Structure 1
Amino acid sequence: MKCIILFILTIASCYAEVEFSGRPRNFSIELLHHTQLETDGHVVISPFGIWTLMTGVALGATGRSRSQLARAFLLPKNQNTILDGYKNLTKIVLEPKTQGVQLTSKNFVFTDKGFAIYPDFKRALTSNFGAMLIELDFTNPKSAARIANTAIESSGATVSNVLRSDDFEKSRMIVTNVISFKGLWSSPFNESDTTVEKFYDENKKEIGQVKMMYQRAMLPYSNLQAISASVVELPYGNDNKYSMLIILPYPKINVAEVYQKLSVVTLKDIFAKLESDVKEFGIEDVDVKLPRFKISTNVVLNKPLNSMGVTDIFNPKLAKFEKVSKNELYISAIVHKADIEVTESGTVASAATSAYFSDRISTPTIEANRPFIYFVIEKSTTTIIFSGIYSKPSIF
């Protein structure tokens, strides 16, 4: 009988060209698509945090388990290529010198007392992924949860009570990634301009109210017909390294239609068009109306990953983790927890080549009073740190 190995991924609040970088970037779009189906379309996730954890998991997988993970997460076959690429990418993404931006990612491995991990796998997790390895007595789940949560909080993570006692009851090992982002807008919104306004669905039906922030600022903006949406970039800090991309579908166009087109029109295409628009029209004033919002997501990723072709790792009879331990293991659940807050001060977390851009006669306006897509991105690698869809209005 196989032992249960439970991998729990926990993402902290988001307050707000390396060839290898294309791998987490490309998988991110598909993952958000499948995850939003599990959350009624109102969601935040950290694709980079999930990719980080699952890349570490893949190092211990063999056979079909390894090949399925490699396909879904676009991992190269050679392990040294994975390790070197991961180091190079995380060095760029996770070491911000941007004034006004704080970004941290921590990996933890909690093992049951007496559960032996092969030295090579342990070395890969601790040396290459910077994971903190802690042995606990899982037969005392309350104590194990308390010690694990203390270790996570002591690392500087902005989350608390990440793990529950019942997470340890049937597990032998828990791998956790905690990522947090805090970014101050380069051009903050003025709180005195925030007003309560109506929010609509794609059919212009009122579905609630929001606290709508407003500013007129010089921001990159495009009317992108290739994806049937308007796009505005809201930079963080002082060096244009990190930004939030707001993608607002045209009236009567739903988010799903736009999202499908993102499989063809890449984020690099969108940034290229923003840049070309700035060159053509100059950087100019844009009227931006964006809800203050907070979204919390707690979702089991088993089904979204199944939809992406990752199935064997969840099956006790098929899972192969022969590089982890002599014990027969499988993954019982991958749980993802994420929070994002967007306020006036910041965030607390090739079809495109034929796109037509209309001439700008009046001040461009982007009014996010209907469902929209958002990405928090490291721009030089186009790495999606946090992403989501806002579709259920609330006063925040």
Structure 2
Amino acid sequence: MKTVLFTLFLFTKAFCAPEFGERARNFSIELLHYTQLETDGHVVISPFGVWSLMTGVTLGTTGNSRNQLVRAFLLPNNPTTLVDGYVNLTRTVLDPSTNGVTLSSKNFMFLDTGFNIMPEFRKTITGDFGAMIQNLNFKDSNAAQIANNVIQNTGASVSNVLRSDDFADSRMILTNVISFKGLWSTPFNVTDTTVEPFYDENKNEIGKVNMMFLKTQLAYSNLREMEALVLELPYGDDGKYCMLIILPYPKKKVTDIYKKLAENSFPEIFKRLQRDVDTYGLDEVNVKLPRFKISTNVVLNKPLNNMGVYDIFDPNLASFKKATNEDIYVSAIVHKAEIEVTESGTVASAATSAYFADRISSPNYQANRPFIYFVMEKPTSTVIFSGIYSKPSIF
């Protein structure tokens, strides 16, 4: 039995239906939870990229393989509903009309010589998912280079997405390349950036960071039920995209706060932010945020196992009968992501009084201890990139 490798590469660089979008964002929370367990807590991933890729994969499966994916990725059972929902959500999330934001998602399918896929699966992958299909000789030592050239020739801002080892035992490789470049609506002033200490949740210094500073009017809320402060940093000129930062109270761990997202959804958080803006007006917030770069390279097999996806990884149980007549299974789902956050934008211990003050003076939002961040498309609350910053470094 041959294997099929699903590879996912995400890259960000500095300088819908709402009901269907809910499926993607709920999956996002669970995926980050299990992925951070594999990466010692310091991580960036693209839940939307993973979800997009695996939604396409689901259409090629049958039996328990399909049932497990449907449950884990919160997909509708009806294939037509699934495809229509995916198309509408993707069109909304990837809307290019926002000035200051560039966002694209591209799908690729590479097939080994002599490997055939079902006509209906090909039609859906190319038509509805916009995938480019390329036939290659996987035994050719130049296969990876050829595939990478195909990806780059479409305008992708990444290189060396695939390696020679990826082709060794594979017959089909699906790849999603998603990129985001967002300029802050109000950029940080480079001259205000200084080296400052970074602490753990118990206020023990664990390193230094280049701490950026910004004082401007922003949506800000004290979520006592989550024991965290939430700040919205918008990109571009229309508020469609933003970075949502969740900063735990002192002595509260990021992992504990993250679990509370199950009871406090993103739409509810945005409603709370808007309600506070309506009540108090936009706060002039003193923001301190590390300039940072995080790269993650993780195999998602185990996180997906924890989410109930098993059969597609088992040579004896995997069923891809809607994709091909050949016996294949998934050897690995490789996720590579990178994010840079600087004074211009993203490419993906405050005083106790600041946590309980009721808008009397300018609040301080000092992200000088571990925090959670989400790069989001706000109208659908779709998480494009997400991660945890917990290991300080000078960048």
- What's the TM-score, normalizing by structure 1? 0.97
Letter matched to residue 127 of structure 1: G
Query: Contact between 2:245 and 2:374, CA under 8 Å: does it hold in 1?
Result: yes
State the Cα deviation string for residues 191-230 of structure 1 (Å, max 9, x = none).
0000000001111111100000001100000011111100
Q: How many residues align?
A: 388
Alignment of 1:260-275 (within 5 A): 260-275=259-274
**Following the alignment from structure 1 to structure 2, what is the Cα–Cα distance between the partners of residues 381 and 15?**
24
**Following the alignment from structure 2 to structure 1, what is the Cα–Cα distance between the partners of residues 13 and 189?**
21
**Following the alignment from structure 2 to structure 1, what is the Cα–Cα distance between the partners of residues 11 and 338?**
6
**Following the alignment from structure 1 to structure 2, what is the Cα–Cα distance between the partners of residues 358 and 119?**
62
**Following the alignment from structure 2 to structure 1, what is the Cα–Cα distance between the partners of residues 384 and 239?**
15
Query: Contact between 1:12 and 1:157, CA under 8 Å: does it hold in 2?
Result: no
Identity of aligned residues (%): 65
Deviation at 1:248, TM superposition (A): 0.3
Matched, 1:176 2:175: yes
- Indicate the SS of the match to 2:7: strand
**Following the alignment from structure 2 to structure 1, what is the Cα–Cα distance between the partners of residues 39 and 75?**
27
Query: Contact between 1:224 and 1:357, CA under 8 Å: does it hold in 2?
Result: no
- Indicate the SS of the match to 1:179: strand
- Indicate the SS of the match to 1:393: coil
Q: Which residue does 1:197 correspond to in 2?
A: 196
- Indicate the SS of the match to 1:8: strand
Deviation at 1:15, TM superposition (A): 3.5
**Following the alignment from structure 1 to structure 2, what is the Cα–Cα distance between the partners of residues 12 and 168?**
22
**Following the alignment from structure 2 to structure 1, what is the Cα–Cα distance between the partners of residues 91 and 325?**
33
Deviation at 1:96, TM superposition (A): 2.2
Q: Which residue does 1:213 correspond to in 2?
A: 212
Query: Contact between 1:6 and 1:333, CA under 8 Å: does it hold in 2?
Result: yes
Letter matched to residue 131 of structure 2: A
Query: Contact between 2:11 and 2:347, CA under 8 Å: does it hold in 1?
Result: no
State the Cα deviation string for residues 206-257 of structure 1 (Å, max 9, x = none).
1100000001100000011111100110000000100000100000000011
**Following the alignment from structure 2 to structure 1, what is the Cα–Cα distance between the partners of residues 210 and 246?**
19
Q: Which residue does 2:352 correspond to in 1?
A: none
Q: Which residue does 2:391 correspond to in 1?
A: 392
- Indicate the SS of the match to 1:9: strand
Q: Which residue does 1:119 correspond to in 2?
A: 119
Q: Which residue does 2:162 correspond to in 1?
A: 163
Deviation at 1:369, TM superposition (A): 0.4
Matched, 1:347 2:346: yes
Cα RMSD (Å): 1.1
**Following the alignment from structure 1 to structure 2, what is the Cα–Cα distance between the partners of residues 348 and 11?**
11
- Indicate the SS of the match to 1:219: strand
Query: Contact between 2:12 and 2:346, CA under 8 Å: does it hold in 1?
Result: no
Q: Which residue does 1:5 correspond to in 2?
A: 4
Deviation at 1:325, TM superposition (A): 0.8
- Indicate the SS of the match to 1:102: strand
Query: Contact between 2:192 and 2:212, CA under 8 Å: does it hold in 1?
Result: yes
- Indicate the SS of the match to 2:142: helix
Q: Which residue does 1:44 correspond to in 2?
A: 44
Alignment of 1:248-327 (within 5 A): 248-327=247-326
Deviation at 1:128, TM superposition (A): 0.6
Query: Contact between 1:14 and 1:182, CA under 8 Å: does it hold in 2?
Result: yes
**Following the alignment from structure 2 to structure 1, what is the Cα–Cα distance between the partners of residues 48 and 166?**
23
Matched, 1:89 2:89: yes
**Following the alignment from structure 2 to structure 1, what is the Cα–Cα distance between the partners of residues 37 and 202?**
20
State the Cα deviation string for residues 8-55 of structure 1 (Å, max 9, x = none).
111122537531111101100000000000000000000000000000
**Following the alignment from structure 1 to structure 2, what is the Cα–Cα distance between the partners of residues 358 and 222?**
11
**Following the alignment from structure 1 to structure 2, what is the Cα–Cα distance between the partners of residues 253 and 395?**
24
Alignment of 1:94-113 (within 5 A): 94-113=94-113
Query: Contact between 1:11 and 1:46, CA under 8 Å: does it hold in 2?
Result: yes
Which ranges in structure 2 are unaligned for 5 or more consecutive residues? 349-354
Query: Contact between 1:13 and 1:158, CA under 8 Å: does it hold in 2?
Result: no
Deviation at 1:95, TM superposition (A): 1.7
**Following the alignment from structure 2 to structure 1, what is the Cα–Cα distance between the partners of residues 263 and 229?**
17
**Following the alignment from structure 1 to structure 2, what is the Cα–Cα distance between the partners of residues 42 and 286?**
26
